[in-house]
Structure 1
Amino acid sequence: MKPLGTGDHLRLGPYRLLGVLGEGGMGKVYFGQDSFGRKAAVKVLRPELAYEESLAQRFVREAQMAQSVTSTGVARVLGAHTDGGRPWIATEFLTGPTLDDAIRSHGPLDEPTLRALASSLARTLADIHAAGLIHRDLKPANIVLTAAGPRVIDFGIARPEHGLTLTTTGQIPVTPGFGAPEQVLGQRVGPAADVFSLGAVLIYAITGAQAFTGAHVAAVQYEVVHGEPRIDRVPPRLAPLIGPCLAKDPAHRPTPGQLAAVFAPAHGVERVWRHGPLAADIKERERTIHHLTTVVAASGSGGMSRRRLLTTLAVGGAALAAGAGATAWWLGGRGDSGPYALPPAADTPIADPVGATTGKPEPLWGPLQLLGKTEGGLVPVRDVVCALGATEGGLTAHSVVDGKRRWHAPGPVATAGIVTLSDALVAAVDKKGVVVTFVASSGEARWSVPASAKYVLAADESAVYVITKNDRLRSISRSDGSILWTVRPRVLLNADTRPRSVAGDGRLVIATAKGRVLVVGTVDGQEVWSIDDQSPTGQAGLCPVLHKDMVLINGATLTARALSDGGERWAKTTMTTDGRVQPSGPPLVHDDLVYCARGSYVLAFDVTNGTEVWRSPRGAFLESPVAVQGDAVSVVSSEAGNKGSWAMHAMSRSDNKQVWSRPLPNDAGSYWVYGDGNRLFVRAGAEVVALPVFE
């Protein structure tokens, strides 16, 4: 990163510009920060090009292409200004090296890391193609390695699948050696072109050398069209998987979905982005950017100046990567200040995992009496764990690091529930039926809306959903607190306890009383589909979970259904033990596997097709919730050596063995476990304890 120079903007839209990340023939990319501390990469056209119609149109198209992809494998578009003046696009700032930087600094990837990279990139390409787009420029410089995994950036020449090429005579369409033969020849391209690029990227990642080389650009492009890739240095187990990607005929290349399946890494391999030299590199960059933003926030109150820090970064080579991706535009209507403005979400402090041991693990903190014996519940939100139903009433938040109380709000009702808003706010209901919100990290009160609410159900990017005291379903706008709609659903919502619910992708899924599932559209609240008998015992006990375009529902079966229309993708039938029905416990999706306790076992299924891929040792897990952190699958058992006692079990994902157990108080009334930030938060009645996880 370089300091701002003469002629550089100090601000674009809501972003204060702090440094220059890079520049090219068309423009510059700045590092920016808004008034809430949110970091962004702000890409802007050069002034002399802003009024050149064809380039301005291409810039607008880049913003549109990036916006249309919804995938965790790309970065989000945070804001854009493309009408008049100097066009700019603000995208999520990604902290980490690009793949080519990582290879230069740390050498080629090993096989497990390569598999993790390949599987992640294949899934991302599948998402890009599902949006009707072709990336067209997948290369090591357009892949950022973050602590959460690889992210694809730069949609500068992305096009709809039906779009023509962007090349004219004499132009080079993509980076030599990574573009497909049909791109080199200026022909129409399809999704298979991105697969070819992926194959070239993987050869570079595993060998440190390009698949196609030559003395000059034309020679490299000739090899792409007519030559054979240099695959001899690829490990024998990987060569048959990568080789087909580089077929000259697009019809002979595998699909991204097929590649994601064949490269599926071993369980726990996602830790490659959090351990080892590459992870240390990422963490150092995170510390550097934190220092930079802290210096800026201090406004000259001491320490290293911003210019000196930026110069140090440039000299030291601590490059910081920025990405272009998608999910939502920055909406000026929400404003940068006021009660409805969304504050930045706090970072999640990550605990160090411990070595696998047997016996009773030492708590990180607790047990602490944070709740009533049966009412309320726990919700981890980044740096705090919120306890609704505190012993003195209301809502408390405690540090995930040491359990110390961070703040207390006396108003919220324990039985009404709590939901999170973008991991930045928490919403609850007070005794008068008012929906109240607080900043999760600090407890600062934000907006409140009189809604005659009995329960708060769920929230998505635009609204908070509640059940009213007269059993209506109501939607409340997150942008201004207005009531968007109120409906009386066909399925009665007069449950004695709060139904578990989840919202996303235009649907609100409610697990109602007596084992029913009701799905309504979030635009108008009208019923879209429903299930009437999902619970075999007639009890609610259902916990719907969203995953991409599916909802997973436990109960009589564990079923995966299309969120849009309820079409069944797969289902696991009810298990029986000694002639008794054993329904599925709450599902948990982790690393594209769905875990759930079913009677005597904890099982893991491939979330896409329901294939069983992991089974725990036999136990008495009933319908326990499941937490997955590190290599540990953790679950509550009703039997630990002596029948009738309760314990917390942790089992290894890699070898299916029980590693440790910890006794829990008997007859506590309510047991639950959550996993977050390499910690397990275990509730046994009123008590909460935080436990470590093992690698």
Structure 2
Amino acid sequence: MNDRKQYAMKPLGAGDPIRLGPYRVLGVLGEGGMGKVYFGRDDGGGTAAVKVLLPELAHDPQLAQRFLREAHTARAVTSGGVARVLNARIEETDSRPWIATEFLSGPTLDDAVRQYGPFGPDGVRALAASLAATLRDIHAAGLVHRDLKPANIVLTSTGPRVIDFGIARPEHGLTLTTTGQVPVTPGYGAPEQVLGQRVGPAADVFSLGAVLAYAATGRRAYDGTHVAAVQYEVVHGEPELGSVPPELHTLIAPCLAKDPDRRPTPEQIEGAFAPPPGADRVWRTGPLAQDIERRGTEAERQATVLSGGSGTGPSRRGLLRTGLVAGGVLAAAGGAAGAWWLLREEPRVIPPAGLAKNAEALSLLAGDHGTAPRELWGPLPVAAQAVDGVVTTPLPVLDVVIFAAKGGGLAARLTTDGKEKWRLPGVRPSAGLVELPGYLFVTAGNDGALRCFEGSTSREVWSVGGADTGRILAADASAVYLVTRGGKLRAVDTASRKVRWTVPLAEGAVQAPGPRAATGTGTLVFFGADGDVTTFDTASGRTLWLLSGQAKSAVQPLVVNDVAYLGGRSLKAVNVSTGVPVWKESWKKNTSSEEPQQGAGGWGPPVLLKGTYVFALDGTSLTEVSRDSGLGLPTRRNVPGPIPHTPPVVEARTIWFVEAGGRGVSAHSTLDRGRFWTWSPESSGPWGISGAGNRVFLVNDGKLTAMPTID
């Protein structure tokens, strides 16, 4: 027996219509400051939720046009995953516009999670794959929904249905309304929506990530004591994903990236979340399925009973006293209410988030202050050995980590449990793996072609046969930068898939173990193997400036906005376009004049901390420097020195770096720089290290391992 509170469908009042077009009006499902939603039935027995403007507003031509625009917008989407618009027009008799949509009697996702608790991992996967397919169809129609949230998703026996196209607009339209309001639900609208910027399909992906986090935990990903606090967290804070199951964390987190270009596409989400067979039983069997069936039966019963009246006068209105289940009413109201300005509720106050997860993570990782935690998975003997003393750095993309495979080619393993997802022969991973926007990556074919693949599926997207790829250095939003097999620097345009420019390089710049590079705004900072630094204009290949003798070998540069940070004999910060120093004084070697070289010595590659500080290792010291002023914080000594050619990794609240001689990796807190532990101190030789999704991935001696971090 369902003991939930029952809510009555309201009877028709004196001013309510008896008929709207082909629909006989049976009752009031909901109402707001600008309109009402009625429960209607046509002569063929079909039910509908019919939305209509209030009489006093119906004569405003702007409101009427805005109202009907919603119907036309929703009609453009033919996906089975949305609530279909059945009919819409302005009545000739009273000029009141109305919109009729499917009556969806199932509960909203919000109702379902509140009543039955969070979905399990398989249920979340099924939900994600279905909603991603629906977003794909919406975007294919040239639209952006802009208000995907649990209350706008109705669960039916055939799957989730997306409703409410009230603020949907063509792709890249502005979010701000003419009154300057931002019609976005707190905690679900993307940062660019909150800021009133132009939005594209990636905004819906952000909303989907927030929806999935709620479905998996029953809690919002962004909390705050009031609306402004929630919106601030969306723009500047990090999502609360501590309760998300580990196997879902790395799938949901990318959807919530601040940068729209860093979010996956609906197609990639659909592939990454591919559910196991039978995962949709969450809405096909069990209590939720019974609830869906019960709501549908009750709606049909009322439609049959109420239609049996005379159709006029108080007697018919008096029949409208029986109750509909709350979720059924709300689903219909939400599905037909449509426009955000019609029946939108005021956002609820959200309680502040707790701090338990950080304490738990610190306890887990700190251990006995020197004892490493257990691996998440691995070490697995599945990776290729070093080539010319260099290990191919593993590349995390969406739900997988990609690496050079034992026996040749590439392989991908799930970040959650290390299980193999795909293998890719015919490529040369020693040329490097570089990620592109949209969760793509590039590597080299055995024939020197530059080849681009989807990270999660390994599907080839494009190939440039004339690239003559020797080593891939870096990429930006429009090009990939590489060294050819003949030792030249080359830019390949990712839009035209043609070589943009090629320039010669000094022989010493490309000798083993090879150069390093990073991109800035319109610039490529190239750190040659001979220790010279050259910056090129990415549009033309023209040299902008040259810095000789910065190091004895290449050190990976760091570019943040318009500043390049360089390791080597000293730690420098220079304007990326002019080469003019940003700091008055560079940080010199503290203990000796030893130059950096493969193995030890000098300043290693700098990395960014918290967006404010640059962290670098100088021999046996950890140093933190303000990236703007060059002022340094106290230095910690007696830290095993790094290998300059292996950049440290900052992931969550942990700094990881390879110790001198390759004897293990050390993890430190970014909060107090205290050393936690060293993992695999018996190891030696070169390492590959990368991080994503609160995981750090390590390759050493042919083994692949995933380690935890502080969340």
The two structures have a TM-score, normalised by structure 2, of 0.54
My pick for the range that moved more, 625-634 or 37-46, is 37-46
Task: Return the offset for 1:655.
Answer: 3.6
1:550 aligns with 2:563: yes
Larger radius of gyration: 2
Tell me how far apart the structure 2 counterparts of residues 313 and 508 of structure 1 sit (CA, whole Å).
58
Tell me how far apart the structure 1 counterparts of residues 540 and 561 of structure 2 sit (CA, whole Å).
22
Given that 1:648 and 1:661 are in contact with CA atoms closer than 8 Å, whether structure 2 keeps it comes out as yes
Per the alignment, residue 377 of structure 2 pairs with 365
Per the alignment, residue 591 of structure 1 pairs with 610
1:33 pairs with one of 93, 114, 135: 135
What are the within-5 Å matches in structure 2 for residues 289-368 of structure 1? 304=283, 353=361, 354-358=364-368, 359-368=371-380
Given that 2:399 and 2:414 are in contact with CA atoms closer than 8 Å, whether structure 1 keeps it comes out as yes
1:406 aligns with 2:421: yes
Find the residue that maps to 1:569 and give its secondary structure.
coil
Given that 2:250 and 2:399 are in contact with CA atoms closer than 8 Å, whether structure 1 keeps it comes out as no
Find the residue that maps to 1:33 and give its secondary structure.
helix
AA in 2 matched with 1:596: A
Task: Return the offset for 1:473.
Answer: 2.7
Please list every run of 5 or more consecutive structure 1 residues that lacks an aligned counterpart in the other structure: 21-29, 63-69, 81-88, 110-138, 152-269, 320-349, 639-643
Given that 1:371 and 1:686 are in contact with CA atoms closer than 8 Å, whether structure 2 keeps it comes out as yes
Tell me how far apart the structure 1 counterparts of residues 642 and 654 of structure 2 sit (CA, whole Å).
19
AA in 2 matched with 1:366: G
Cα shift readout 1:154-183 (whole Å, capped 9, x = no counterpart): xxxxxxxxxxxxxxxxxxxxxxxxxxxxxx
Find the residue that maps to 2:677 and give its secondary structure.
strand
Tell me how far apart the structure 2 counterparts of residues 425 and 408 of structure 1 sit (CA, whole Å).
16
Tell me how far apart the structure 2 counterparts of residues 553 and 288 of structure 1 sit (CA, whole Å).
32
Given that 2:375 and 2:707 are in contact with CA atoms closer than 8 Å, whether structure 1 keeps it comes out as yes
- Change over 3 Å in CA distance of 1:472–1:72 after alignment to 2: farther
Task: Return the offset for 1:499.
Answer: 2.0
AA in 1 matched with 2:542: Q
Given that 1:617 and 1:658 are in contact with CA atoms closer than 8 Å, whether structure 2 keeps it comes out as no
- Change over 3 Å in CA distance of 1:531–1:368 after alignment to 2: same
Given that 1:425 and 1:439 are in contact with CA atoms closer than 8 Å, whether structure 2 keeps it comes out as yes
Per the alignment, residue 626 of structure 1 pairs with 648
1:534 aligns with 2:550: yes
Find the residue that maps to 2:524 and give its secondary structure.
strand
Per the alignment, residue 690 of structure 1 pairs with 706
Given that 1:4 and 1:18 are in contact with CA atoms closer than 8 Å, whether structure 2 keeps it comes out as no
Task: Return the offset for 1:659.
Answer: 2.1
Find the residue that maps to 2:549 and give its secondary structure.
coil
Tell me how far apart the structure 2 counterparts of residues 552 and 613 of structure 1 sit (CA, whole Å).
17
Per the alignment, residue 541 of structure 2 pairs with 525
1:443 aligns with 2:458: yes
Tell me how far apart the structure 2 counterparts of residues 473 and 303 of structure 1 sit (CA, whole Å).
54
- Change over 3 Å in CA distance of 1:355–1:453 after alignment to 2: closer
Find the residue that maps to 2:453 and give its secondary structure.
strand
Cα shift readout 1:91-137 (whole Å, capped 9, x = no counterpart): 7744659xxxx99x97748xxxxxxxxxxxxxxxxxxxxxxxxxxxx
- Change over 3 Å in CA distance of 1:72–1:506 after alignment to 2: farther
- Change over 3 Å in CA distance of 1:441–1:316 after alignment to 2: farther
Per the alignment, residue 32 of structure 2 pairs with none
Per the alignment, residue 659 of structure 1 pairs with 676
Tell me how far apart the structure 2 counterparts of residues 430 and 384 of structure 1 sit (CA, whole Å).
21
What are the within-5 Å matches in structure 2 for residues 78-93 of structure 1? 78-79=199-200, 93=206
What are the within-5 Å matches in structure 2 for residues 123-162 of structure 1? 140=228, 143=231, 145-146=233-234, 150=235
Tell me how far apart the structure 2 counterparts of residues 482 and 14 of structure 1 sit (CA, whole Å).
37
Tell me how far apart the structure 2 counterparts of residues 143 and 106 of structure 1 sit (CA, whole Å).
9
Task: Return the offset for 1:434.
Answer: 0.7
Cα shift readout 1:344-398 (whole Å, capped 9, x = no counterpart): xxxxxx9x9435212132111111231213444122223222213x220122222
Given that 1:285 and 1:318 are in contact with CA atoms closer than 8 Å, whether structure 2 keeps it comes out as no
Given that 1:417 and 1:498 are in contact with CA atoms closer than 8 Å, whether structure 2 keeps it comes out as no
Tell me how far apart the structure 1 counterparts of residues 542 and 254 of structure 2 sit (CA, whole Å).
47
Given that 1:381 and 1:423 are in contact with CA atoms closer than 8 Å, whether structure 2 keeps it comes out as no
Tell me how far apart the structure 2 counterparts of residues 37 and 297 of structure 1 sit (CA, whole Å).
20
Find the residue that maps to 1:558 and give its secondary structure.
strand
What are the within-5 Å matches in structure 2 for residues 164-179 of structure 1? none
Task: Return the offset for 1:663.
Answer: 3.1
Given that 1:616 and 1:651 are in contact with CA atoms closer than 8 Å, whether structure 2 keeps it comes out as no
Cα shift readout 1:15-62 (whole Å, capped 9, x = no counterpart): 999589xxxxxxxxx998235989955499999x99xxxx999799x9
Tell me how far apart the structure 2 counterparts of residues 284 and 317 of structure 1 sit (CA, whole Å).
32
Tell me how far apart the structure 1 counterparts of residues 651 and 589 of structure 2 sit (CA, whole Å).
26
Find the residue that maps to 1:612 and give its secondary structure.
coil
Task: Return the offset for 1:399.
Answer: 1.6
Given that 1:11 and 1:17 are in contact with CA atoms closer than 8 Å, whether structure 2 keeps it comes out as no
Task: Return the offset for 1:495.
Answer: 3.2
Tell me how far apart the structure 2 counterparts of residues 283 and 469 of structure 1 sit (CA, whole Å).
36
- Change over 3 Å in CA distance of 1:368–1:276 after alignment to 2: closer
Task: Return the offset for 1:595.
Answer: 1.7
- Change over 3 Å in CA distance of 1:8–1:314 after alignment to 2: farther
Task: Return the offset for 1:673.
Answer: 3.1
Given that 1:41 and 1:93 are in contact with CA atoms closer than 8 Å, whether structure 2 keeps it comes out as no
1:602 pairs with one of 622, 633, 656: 622
Per the alignment, residue 565 of structure 1 pairs with 578
Per the alignment, residue 514 of structure 1 pairs with 530
Tell me how far apart the structure 2 counterparts of residues 569 and 15 of structure 1 sit (CA, whole Å).
54
Per the alignment, residue 10 of structure 1 pairs with 74
Per the alignment, residue 635 of structure 1 pairs with 657
Tell me how far apart the structure 1 counterparts of residues 253 and 50 of structure 2 sit (CA, whole Å).
24
1:379 pairs with one of 378, 385, 395: 395
- Change over 3 Å in CA distance of 1:523–1:534 after alignment to 2: same
Task: Return the offset for 1:603.
Answer: 1.9
- Change over 3 Å in CA distance of 1:674–1:614 after alignment to 2: farther
Tell me how far apart the structure 2 counterparts of residues 275 and 143 of structure 1 sit (CA, whole Å).
20
- Identity over aligned pairs, percent: 22
Per the alignment, residue 28 of structure 2 pairs with none
Per the alignment, residue 462 of structure 1 pairs with 478
Cα shift readout 1:476-506 (whole Å, capped 9, x = no counterpart): 2222412333333689754344422222421
Tell me how far apart the structure 2 counterparts of residues 406 and 494 of structure 1 sit (CA, whole Å).
34
Tell me how far apart the structure 2 counterparts of residues 315 and 57 of structure 1 sit (CA, whole Å).
26
Per the alignment, residue 185 of structure 2 pairs with none
Per the alignment, residue 521 of structure 2 pairs with 505
Tell me how far apart the structure 1 counterparts of residues 574 and 194 of structure 2 sit (CA, whole Å).
23
AA in 1 matched with 2:445: D
- Change over 3 Å in CA distance of 1:693–1:530 after alignment to 2: same
AA in 2 matched with 1:356: A
Task: Return the offset for 1:422.
Answer: 1.4
Tell me how far apart the structure 1 counterparts of residues 206 and 470 of structure 2 sit (CA, whole Å).
39
Task: Return the offset for 1:423.
Answer: 5.3
